[in-house]
Chain A
Amino acid sequence: GAVVSQHPSRVICKSGTSVKIECRSLDFQATTMFWYRQFPKQSLMLMATSNEGSKATYEQGVEKDKFLINHASLTLSTLTVTSAHPEDSSFYICSARTSGGLRSYNEQFFGPGTRLTVL
């Protein structure tokens, strides 16, 4: 149990286009989802925290109008990179937190990541 999926696993797009990344909790309900970004040879950096049905909270330095996050249901959150540029090329990882019960001590589960390349 406790599986988090992401789609797509990798995407290549042209500069100026928008890209949507989906994050799903497959066998549990996620009241909170987190989005991280990871550049080559660096650690994961938290971008934002989203709670189902409310606006996301962005970390300092992350543009909320560029990285649109929607957490419309307890099993789905989306990250849309708008007007993507080459510097947005990165590995994007989502994480979902259970609302309790399922192995509650290990309450944050990670997706496999999405590699975005902007040409």
Chain B
Amino acid sequence: DAKTTQPTSMDCAEGRAANLPCNHSTISGNEYVYWYRQIHSQGPQYIIHGLKNNETNEMASLIITEDRKSSTLILPHATLRDTAVYYCIVRVANSGNTPLVFGKGTRLSVIA
């Protein structure tokens, strides 16, 4: 059951900001928004997560709308190495044995 909706693919010019949207209109009050990415032939890599406030770390920024029904992952200065599939996942934090469930994600291509 898909709890998030993401565009299938996006392109971004190298050095520009990449803005990846995610819709999660059925998110519950205790569910966080997580972002992972998967570079080709590698395991998924954690990027960032948030509940309702905007978050920033060394990799990216996460902007969550006030109603929490959508969010945007921002890579401020995309490089060729950011080419990957980006997954937006909603789940309860520290939720025991509940695994991360991956949707289809957005395939981001950073172009020189």
**A residues lining the B interface (CB < 8 Å):** 4, 6, 32, 34, 36, 43-46, 49, 51, 91, 93, 95, 97, 104-113, 115
CB-based contact B42/A112 at 8 Å: yes
Shortest distance from the beta carbon of A96 to any chain B beta carbon, whole Å: 11
Extra A-B contacts (19), CB below 8 Å, given A6-B43, A95-B44 = A4-B43, A32-B96, A43-B85, A43-B102, A43-B103, A44-B102, A46-B99, A46-B101, A91-B41, A93-B43, A97-B97, A105-B49, A105-B93, A107-B94, A110-B43, A111-B43, A113-B41, A113-B43, A115-B41
Q: In chain B, what residue has the closest Cβ to A4?
A: B43
B45 CB-CB contact with A under 8 Å: yes
CB-based contact B97/A51 at 8 Å: yes
Distance, CA A2 to CA B49, complexed state (A): 17
Q: For the complex, would chain A's binding face be called helix, strand, loop or mixed by DSSP majority?
A: strand
Shortest distance from the beta carbon of A1 to any chain B beta carbon, whole Å: 13
Distance, CA A4 to CA B45, complexed state (A): 11
Which of B85, B97, B102, B104 is the one whose CB lies under 8 Å from A49? B97
Number of A-B contacts (CB under 8 A): 51
B13 CB-CB contact with A under 8 Å: no
CB-based contact A32/B45 at 8 Å: no
Closest 8 CB pairs of A and B: A110-B43, A44-B102, A34-B99, A43-B102, A110-B44, A112-B43, A113-B43, A93-B43
CB-based contact A110/B45 at 8 Å: yes
Shortest distance from the beta carbon of B96 to any chain A beta carbon, whole Å: 8
CB-based contact B102/A106 at 8 Å: no
Q: Name the A residues within 8 Å of B45 (CB-CB).
A: 110
Q: Of residues B42, B49, B85, which shows the largest number of chain A Cβ atoms within 10 Å of its Cβ?
A: B42
Q: In chain A, what residue has the closest Cβ to B49?
A: A105
Q: In chain A, what residue has the closest Cβ to B99?
A: A34
CB-based contact A95/B42 at 8 Å: no
